[in-house]
Structure 1
Amino acid sequence: MSRFLAAIILLLSIALTILVTIACSVPIIIAGIIKLLLPIPVIWRYVSAFCNFMMYCWCEGLAVLMHLNPHLKWDVQGLEGLNKKNGYLLICNHHSWADIVVLCVLFRKHIPMNKYFLKQQLAWVPFIGLACWALDMPFMKRYSRSYLIRHPERRGEDVETTRRSCEKFRSHPTTIVNFVEGSRFTEEKQRQTRSPYKNLLPPKAAGIAMAVNVLGQKFDKLLNVTLCYPKNDSTPFYDMLSGRLTQIVVRINLVPVAEDLHGDYVNDKNFKRRFQLWLNAVWNDKDGQIDHIKAQYNNAGH
């Protein structure tokens, strides 16, 4: 693709993405204000259903926009057996802003609307922040280790936020999405966190442990999703917007929410250790899976 055509597609993609986002987020924000002003359970249920429908429309708009990538191919395994009437906890590696678009587009017709654990800073993004608030998405504050040493009273705030947010999802099937690394993968972050993984940052267990503990009976399965962009690994989001994204690889593994994944992560040290070991093993397998995908596509010359 020529640079001129890529630049045209980039501008078109940005403009259309903004228009689609505004068109879908404004009704969600208005509905959220109604929900805030009229705290009546029946009204809340109808408002929540409307907000989920508008988010589905947003996902459909993103799916249309992805057709601006003329050579894009999907390699997806594991969609079988998913159902919009079931509840899921979805964990995924986080490589790029493109990940959210991919998850929304891929799963929009297979599982309940995704609800993301979001960084607190996103609450201030025009339209998106208010819409995510109206959709009851939990906003998480991330503190550095040094900050927590100076302010120990801040410890556990994310866990409490998770608990309160999950309580809202008891009444209807929901897909809770957690990028358990807490941040997008970069080589710099990999060095800073001393990650033992080649393609991933160390996973943070507290959020999903609390979600399982609060909503364990509501989750039919845990969705372990692995994303990879073998031909656009450096700048997948930019390549997506400029029409240069050529390959999206997704591997989905349905994991039963076993009894030994239920427990008090905050107060039970033995359970906390077991849960961390389980999640680290999942992440080790994911790291190897990404290596395999990259080798497969590089060797095949795709």
Structure 2
Amino acid sequence: MLGYLLFIVSASLVIINTAFCSIPILGFGLLKFLLPIKPLQRLCTSLANRFMWLWATCNHGIIHLVNRKLQWQVEGVDCLNKDGWYLMISNHLSWTDIVVLCSVFKDTIPMPKFFLKQQLLYVPFLGMACWALDMPFMKRYSREYLIRHPEKRGQDLATTRRSCAKFKDTPTTVVNYVEGTRFTAEKQARGRAGYEYLLQPKSGGIAYTLAAMGDQFETIIDVTLAYPDNTDQPFKDALMGKMNRIVVKVRVLPVDDQVLGDYFNDKRYKRDFQKWLGDVWRQKDQTLKDIHTK
């Protein structure tokens, strides 16, 4: 009974926090949209980011309030700063990931901006706040759909470029969940990717972002997330006060010729880039194995 009571209390606090912070963020977003004056837009972006920081800080406090024995094991964030532009790639396990990334990096780098599914735009408070924060909303098309509607090809690249253009004036962290979806054992079995703790990485999304902003990113932040004692339902466990450990391991990778190139027209570069990403993912899988077997 105590766990379900904590769930109701913590979920209510998260909803209230989201609604409270979303309203001013949306106001700043509307002001940017209605008055497209560069200095004013930069000011509104800065103020909106501060409210996102407040949202992340309150969520961090809620997690600690209901998970009194929670241990954070964070490595590798010391060399980062708040004045840079970063591309962050990460494995994806749960809704908890967004709260965790914002909690870990909110005082270290610019507030993370996530690539989101188009459907999330219609979530009350949250969707419009993400729009106001200039987060890209992506439409997912199946291969079969694109065969029937070839005119839709390349729309994600155009969306990415429009969104990334808004990040050029303000230090920003762009987050890409390279697997494209949350990890489950069923998805892993269907994918047959050969990883023990990961799904097959999708190179297109990160290639879109590098094509749009590659020359501006200082580094690539490779994040490995794990909830080793709460693997089945980390989001529910966190709200019920059952979360024991959150592990975040960070590697900083260079933005160099190995990751920069014409992914869409240079076949050799595309193969090399996919190999590079595969190597990153194999090392991440080994890191997760080490975390889960200790």
- Number of the residue aligned with 1:106: 104
The match for 1:237 is 235
Task: Give 1:29's aligned residue.
Answer: 26
Q: Secondary structure at the match of 2:214?
A: helix
1:61 aligned partner: 58
Contact 1:63 1:105 in 2 (8 A): yes
Q: Deviation of residue 37 (structure 1)?
A: 0.9
What do the CA deviations read for 1:232-281 (whole angstroms, capped 9, x no partner)? Answer: 00000000011100001111001111123111111222111111111011
Alignment partners' CA distance in 1, 2:110 and 2:162: 20
Name the SS of the counterpart of 2:180 in structure 1.
coil
What amino acid sits opposite 2:122 in the alignment?
W
Q: What is the alpha-carbon distance in structure 2 between the residues aligned to residue 195 and residue 172 of structure 1?
A: 37
SS in 2 for 1:248: strand
Count of residues in correspondence between the two structures: 293
1:211, distance to aligned residue in structure 2 (A): 1.8
Give the letter for the 1:47 counterpart: C
Residue in 1 that maps onto 2:167: 169
Aligned equivalents of 1:147, 1:180: Cα separation in 2: 21
Match of 2:12 among 4, 15, 26: 15
Moved >3 Å (runs of 4+): none
**Counterpart-to-counterpart distance in 2, 1:83 and 1:16:** 30
Q: C-alpha separation between the residues in 1 aligned to 2:192 and 2:31?
A: 46
Structure 1 residue 210: deviation in Å?
Answer: 2.5
SS in structure 2 at match of 1:260: coil
Q: Distance in 2 between matches of 1:191 and 1:115?
A: 30
Q: Residues 141-168 of structure 1: CA distance to partner in whole angstroms, max 9, x if unpaired? A: 1122222222222222212211221111
**CA distance 1:42–1:129, change in 2 (3 Å):** same
Q: Which residue of 2 aligns with 1:271?
A: 269
Quote the RMSD (CA, aligned, Å): 1.1
> Post-superposition shift, 1:78?
0.5
- Partners of 1:173 and 1:218 within 8 A in 2: no
- Give the letter for the 1:53 counterpart: R
CA displacement at 1:103 relative to structure 2: 0.2
Show the counterpart of 2:150: 152
Cα distance, 1:102 vs structure 2: 0.4
- Structure 1 stretches lacking a partner, 5+ long: 297-302
Moved more, 18-27 or 151-160: 151-160
Matching of residue 76 in structure 1 with residue 77 in structure 2: no
**1:51, 1:174 → 2: CA distance?**
13
TM-score (normalizing by structure 2): 0.97
For 1:11, the aligned partner's letter is I
CA contact (8 A) 1:159 1:206 kept: no
Give the share of equivalent positions with the same residue, in percent.
50
Aligned residue for 1:50?
47
Higher deviation after alignment, 259-268 or 116-125? 259-268
Structure 2: any 5+ residue segments left out of the alignment?
A: none
TM-score of the two chains, using structure 1 as the length reference: 0.94
Deviates more, 1:214-223 or 1:5-14: 214-223
Give 1:89's aligned residue: 87
The structural deviation recorded for 1:222 is: 0.5
The aligned residue for residue 282 of structure 2 is 284
In structure 2, the partner of 1:300 is: none
SS in 2 for 1:105: helix
Q: Quote the residue 1:203 is aligned against.
A: 201
Change (3 A) 1:168 1:24: same
C-alpha change, 1:150 and 1:192, in structure 2 (3 Å) is farther
* 276-285 vs 152-161, greater mean Cα deviation: 152-161
Residue by residue over 1:169-200, the C-alpha shift from the partner in whole angstroms, topping out at 9 and shown as x without a partner, is 11121000010111001122223333221211
SS at match of 1:217: coil
Structure 2 match to 1:299:
none
Asked if 2 retains the 8 angstrom alpha-carbon contact of 1:119 and 1:140, the reply is: yes
The amino acid across from 2:61 in the alignment is V
